[in-house]
């Protein structure tokens, strides 16, 4: 069993002299990936072997799903019905402006995610207390069928991970609902001054950058020696994760994004479609 990473508290000072308080993780989670010396990775090979015909490709992904070592899920508009950052912005009274920024970020592939995240957070400036109140008043709105799907995956011994550009403190509540271990969550971490005011976000997290989901998948593969991983999500950042994920299943049960519907290796509208595949294989 892998031990919990050691944590320590580090005090930092910004240019104005305010103290910052943030958690830094040492141990297994800080390992950097070995770069493959091969020009073509195993995930590249899996994707290159896929049939071009849509129906044949879907059948190929269904077979892959039955034997995958792990499945990684996005959260907003995938595991959950809503976009948490928009809901938090609404809670803070800046919903309209942030919703427009979120829509733009999710529909474009050439935008640096860190920049859009910073722009939205600079508008929101969520305090620690405001975040606590939001979590208390807004329990996770799980998408129908996700609980059964995760349970089926767990029953089969398939590992489940959550990879999201959302905020760790909110996503951990979702993970609890689904029975996903906290260490299987890859999300962004907010930073606060000691008085609880918003101080920024941890820019060392993989998921705050464009392509971050792919980096997280690579880390998971090396860390746990997974040979086959499938990414499931509704947005363009989920497409970017395959490769290194061996396939991307686009999800349109809450939002249908044209780019994802067109480019995903298999596009579904309900999690029951995946559960049915797994149960048929039992």
Positions annotated as catalytic residues are: 74, 76
Question: How far apart are the two ends of the chain, measured CA to CA in Å?
Answer: 27
What DSSP string runs through the chain?
-PPPPEEEEEEEE-TT--EEEEEEEESGGGPPPPPP-SSS-HHHHHHHTS-SSHHHHHHHHHHHHHH-SEEEE-TBTTTBSS-HHHHHHHHTT-HHHHHHHHHHHHH-SSS-HHHHHHHHHHHH---HHHHHHHHHH----BPTTHHHHHHHHHHTT-EEEEEEEEEHHHHHHHHHHHT--GGGEEEE-EEEETTS-EEEE-TTSGGGSTTHHHHHHHHHHHHHT-S-EEEEESSHHHHTTTTTSSEEEEE-SS---HHHHHHSSEEES-THHHHHHHHHH-
User: Phi first, then psi: what are they for 19, rounded to 5°?
Assistant: -80, 140
CB hemisphere CA count around 201 (13 angstroms): 28
Token representation of residue 11: 């005090």
Token representation of residue 58: 């879907």
β-bridge partners, 267: 250
């Amino acid at each position: 069993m892998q031990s919990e990473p050691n944590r320590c508290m580090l005090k930092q000072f910004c240019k104005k002299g305010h103290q910052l308080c943030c958690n830094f993780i040492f141990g297994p989670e800080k390992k950097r990936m070995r770069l493959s010396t091969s020009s073509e990775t195993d995930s590249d090979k899996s994707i290159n072997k896929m049939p071009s015909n849509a129906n044949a490709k879907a059948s190929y992904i269904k077979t892959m799903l039955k034997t995958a070592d792990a499945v990684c899920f996005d959260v907003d508009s995938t595991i959950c019905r809503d976009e948490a950052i928009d809901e938090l912005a609404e809670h803070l009274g800046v919903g309209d402006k942030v919703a427009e920024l979120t829509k733009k970020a999710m529909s474009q592939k050439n935008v640096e995610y860190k920049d859009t995240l910073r722009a939205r957070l600079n508008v929101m400036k969520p305090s620690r207390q405001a975040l606590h109140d939001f979590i208390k008043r807004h329990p996770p709105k799980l998408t129908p069928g996700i609980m059964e799907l995760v349970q089926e995956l767990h029953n089969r011994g398939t590992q489940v991970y959550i990879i999201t550009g959302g905020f760790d403190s909110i996503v951990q509540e979702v993970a609890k609902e689904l029975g996903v271990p906290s260490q299987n969550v890859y999300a962004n971490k907010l930073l606060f001054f000691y008085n609880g005011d918003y101080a920024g976000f941890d820019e060392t997290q993989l998921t705050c950058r464009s392509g971050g989901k792919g980096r997280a998948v690579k880390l998971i593969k090396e860390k746990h020696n997974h040979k086959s991983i499938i990414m499931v999500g509704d947005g363009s950042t989920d497409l970017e994760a395959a490769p290194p994920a061996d396939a991307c299943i686009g999800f349109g049960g809450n939002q249908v994004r044209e780019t994802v519907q067109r480019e995903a290796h298999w596009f579904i509208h309900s999690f029951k479609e995946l559960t049915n595949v797994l149960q048929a294989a039992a």
